[in-house]
A and B are shown apart, each in its own frame.
Chain A
Amino acid sequence: MPERVRTDVGGAAAALDYDAELMLRVKEGDGASFGVLLDKHRSSVVHFLYRMVQNHPVAEELAQEVFLRVYRSRSTYEPTAKFTTWLFRIATHLALNALRDGKNERLQEHLDDDSSDMPVRQISDSRPSVEQFMVYQARLDEVRRAVATLPEKQRAAVLMHKYEEMEYSQIAKVLNCSESAVKSLLFRAYETLRARLAHMA
């Protein structure tokens, strides 16, 4: 599928990303296009929210709310920014609110527990020994704790930069700040993470 298409919106030709084109179709009543958008972005939104709130059920609940808001806004949607910028702005807003509201109060105890929703490590050549598995879990726990201790905005910036591979400019639009502020956030965040995780080299 083409990533960028040229389309005519409101009489004026505008270069839109393919997702924005799909969203405009949703606006016109095409439910199937909403399904395509959902298929395309479901995983990245859930994964971003999971890493933000570190609680799988809460992350999925928030992701549902993200897509519900996208659907609700279809009639007023205007492609003024990249679709993913808009999508992650909604996701970040919901995640930050959830963190502030203490929706994931279980987070701390969850981190202290043996987590039930940790991913099962797939090792292709052989099954990991119990010892390898425990080492992996301990390292993973350390990474999660290190990320969880970052201030919320730094955390969001790191997750978008590292896992969603977003450009500084796009992260800036999502977080509603300047590009230099994003660079500063990332620099400080990675500094903190280096201090906490460098020994894992």
Chain B
Amino acid sequence: MRCPIETRENAEMLLAYCSRKLDAESTAILEDHIRICPACREFAGGQQAVWRALDAWEAIPVSADFDRRLYGRIEKEVSWWDLLMRPFRPLLFRQGLPIAAAVALVIGAGVLLQRPGAVSPASTPVSAQVDVVAPDQAEHALQEMEMMREFNRLVHPDTADPKM
């Protein structure tokens, strides 16, 4: 084989060998070469020493309250939305109700539009937009609240009733 130390591309093979990522066949070929090549032997010896030295650097265990702190921060971020939706919560808990209300509004708007002169053309897009957005917001709020309930269950497994 061509000496891997001679080109940077091939030196990658030596790095892979030292990091134990080289396949068996290439390892055998390279080891044959290393036996007769002092430069590669020196490179591999030095690299293996680096590898062992880095192995000695153990990481510190993660703090026990890492998750609690993270979920606390997430909860804070979500809570503004919860606060905003609080007045509508009794309605939101009944999932069908906001959708039914939105449908009724859309039908109502449609009926009004059928009556000539009842609604000015300029006001039509505004009312239609409000009707379409309302169920999305409700659904988003419900998703947020559901996630919060799950986070609460993860963070406070003993608490039967989530603090929402």
Question: What residues make up the interface of A, taking CB atoms closer than 8 Å to B?
Answer: 29-32, 35, 38, 42-43, 46-47, 50-51, 56, 60, 63-64, 67-68, 71-72, 117-119, 121, 136, 139-140, 142-144, 146-147, 161-163, 183-184, 186-187, 190, 193-194, 197-201
Contacts and interface: CB of A to CB of B under 8 A. Distances in A.
Contacts of B73: 64, 68
Interface of B is mostly: helix
Interface of B: 8, 11-12, 15, 19, 43, 45-54, 56-63, 66-67, 69-70, 73-74, 77, 143, 146-151, 154
Nearest first, the 7 closest Cβ-Cβ pairs linking A and B are: A31-B150, A47-B59, A201-B49, A29-B143, A31-B147, A198-B46, A194-B46
Contact of A187 (B15, B50, B61): B15
Given A117-B60, A193-B50, A64 B8 contact: no
Given A68-B74, A117-B60, A194 B69 contact: no
A139 B58 CA distance: 12
Contacts of B66: 42, 46, 60, 63-64
Interface of A is mostly: helix
A72 B77 contact: yes
Contact of B70 (A29, A38, A186): A38
B54 A162 contact: yes
A186 B15 contact: yes
B30 to A, nearest CB: 16
Given A193-B54, A194-B47, 14 more contacts: A30-B150, A31-B147, A31-B150, A43-B62, A47-B59, A60-B66, A71-B74, A118-B60, A162-B51, A184-B8, A187-B11, A193-B50, A194-B50, A201-B49
Contact of A32 (B43, B45, B63, B154): B154
A187 B12 contact: yes
Nearest to A43: B62
A64 B68 CA distance: 11
Contacts of B61: 119
Given A31-B154, A38-B70, A46 B62 contact: yes
B59 A50 contact: yes
